[in-house]
Amino acid sequence: MARRVGSLLIGMLAVLALPAGVARAADVPREIALTIEKNRFQPEEIRVKAGASFILVITNKDRAAEEFESRELRIEKVIPAGKTVRLRMPALKPGTYPFVGEYHEATAKGRLVAE
Amino acid sequence: MGAAFVVTLREAFEAALILGIVYTYLDKIGGRAYYRYATAGGALGLLASIGAGVAVSFLSGPLLDLGPDVVRTVVVFAAVVLLTWHGWWMRQHARSIKGNVQRRIEQARLTRRLWIIGLIGFTGVFREGAETILFLWGLLTQATSAAAGVAGGTLGVATAALLGWAIFHGGRRLSLRRFFTVTSAILLFVSAGLFSTGVGQLQGLGVLPQSYALWDTSFLLSDRSLVGAFLNGLLGYRARPSALELGAYVTYVLGAGLLLFGNALVPARRRSGPRPDVARP
């Protein structure tokens, strides 16, 4: 019984891991740099290919932490002062996706444009 | 200053709400002596938040890329489990408590569950704690408007605490049975909101597939505004919910609602007998 449960678990894990492995082998996601400086994003508009996942490499050059946030994409990520964070982004449908720095929302605004 | 006030009030409101309910609960069942468990939980949550804030500033690489997200997701689901459990337990006892004798039994039973009370206090504070600490710390490092920002941020936390206290004060006036029912209902919606937040986080992390907003009511009520944020903390209001978030919310409300209030829907035979109302203190 225990062996059965064990093999079942391993099978389930394999099924879960399989698509991830295939996706990773198929295309290495592009890296896109985004910088935070003086509570602003640079660049403020990022153009990406629709339908392809990518990695946002966000560097915070300020002395204060910032939180990258996209309500639309349900992503919230704290970028501590002086740090770089690699953020895996999903494949997007064509469209515009605004994001903000939650801690300095008045100035830190930008958008992702997928096309 | 205004922006800092809004951010911290938004972040701290949920913690204040949960702590307010826990303290009132202890007061209600005559467990004032056990306040310290909730206080210790909350204080540990605050310490852990500071620790996490400091840790994040020292982490780098994959640990920084993923670590905080994993912690955040674990905490949000842990909070859902704890609050559901607490709500269920309160409902069980709302039914049985009829007088002072039961109240004393309740108190005796409580001693075995104090660590849960502590954990609820802990997760309530820790969930948004590290973010708030980092935000406040960031305000301090900004030369231009540090004083005003910190004043606003502190005022936001203080206002949240005041709201928690108001809940405590208001809750004390309710009869025991009504208090248990009302808070079970509130916790049901708070937990449903947390559960759908957790599912949304998993979508953001790519664990669950991304799906797009079903509708957008942010022109009516943005969840970034104060009212929107309160409704978010209380009911899980979302201006742009995804199908999965909405599904998670509805599933939780139905499932936990049935668990907590299921018997209220069935006209039970055992209700026909006289039912003395809640004990007067």
The mean pLDDT of B242-257, rounded to a whole number, is: 94
Is the pLDDT score of A25 beyond 50?
A: no
B138 closest CB neighbour out of A64, A74, A77 = A64
Question: What is the rounded distance in angstroms from the CA atom of residue A34 to the CA atom of residue A16?
Answer: 32
pLDDT in tens, B199-236: 999 998 888 887 778 888 888 888 778 888 888 888 88
Backbone angles phi, psi at B79, to 5 degrees: -60, -40
Beta bridge partners of B124: none
Assess contact for A112 and A46: CB atoms under 8 A.
yes
Domain positions in chain A are 28-114
Percent of chain B whose predicted confidence (pLDDT) is above 90: 28
Angle at B176 between CA B171 and CA B180, to 5 degrees: 75
Q: Which residue has the higher pLDDT, B109 or A3?
A: B109
| B145: contact with A, CB 8 A cutoff | no
Yes or no, beta carbons of A103 and B135 under 8 Å apart? yes
Is residue B69 within 8 angstroms of chain A, CB to CB? yes
Residues B153 and B4 sit within 8 Å (Cβ to Cβ): yes
Residue with structure tokens 């801690």? A103
**Are A75 and B204 within 8 A, CB to CB?**
yes
Distance CA B215, CA B33 (A): 48
Q: How confident is the model at residue A41 (pLDDT cuts 50, 70, 90)?
A: very high
Q: What is the pLDDT of residue B140?
A: 80
CA B214 to chain centre: 25
- Distance separating alpha carbons of residues B276 and B98, to the nearest angstrom: 6
Please state the pTM of the whole predicted model.
0.80
The C-alpha atoms of residue A43 and residue B29 are separated, in whole angstroms, by: 57
Q: Decide if A106 and B69 are in contact by the 8 Å CB cutoff.
A: no
Q: Is B47 left (phi over 0), alpha (psi -120 to 50) or beta?
A: alpha
Q: What's residue A112's pLDDT?
A: 92
Tokens of B77: 């689901």
Tell me the C-alpha distance between B191 and B244, whole Å: 16
Helix (H, G, I), strand (E, B) or coil at B217: coil
Beta carbons within 8 Å of B111's beta carbon, 6+ residues apart: B34
**pLDDT single digits (tens) B100-132:** 556 666 666 666 678 888 999 999 999 989 888
Q: Does B131 touch chain A (CB under 8 A)?
A: yes
Is 3.40.50.1820 the CATH classification of the domain at A28-114?
no
Chain B residues in contact with A107 by the CB 8 A cut-off are none
- C-beta of residue A42 within 8 angstroms of C-beta of residue A60: no
- Of the candidates B21, B187, B31, the residue with the CA atom closest to the CA atom of residue B112: B31
Answer positive or negative: Cα dihedral of B40, B43, B49, B55. negative
Name the residue type at position B252: Y
> What is the DSSP code (8-state) at residue B112?
G
Per-window interface: B 193-212 vs A, CB < 8 A: 200-201, 203-206, 210, 212
**Residues of A engaging B, defined by a Cβ cutoff of 8 Å:** 53, 63-67, 71-78, 80-81, 83-88, 90-91, 93, 102-106
Note the helical H segments in B97-141. Answer: 100-110, 114-141
Domain borders along chain B are 2-183
pLDDT band, residue A26 (cuts 50/70/90): low
Report helix angle B114-141 to B146-173, nearest 10.
Answer: 160
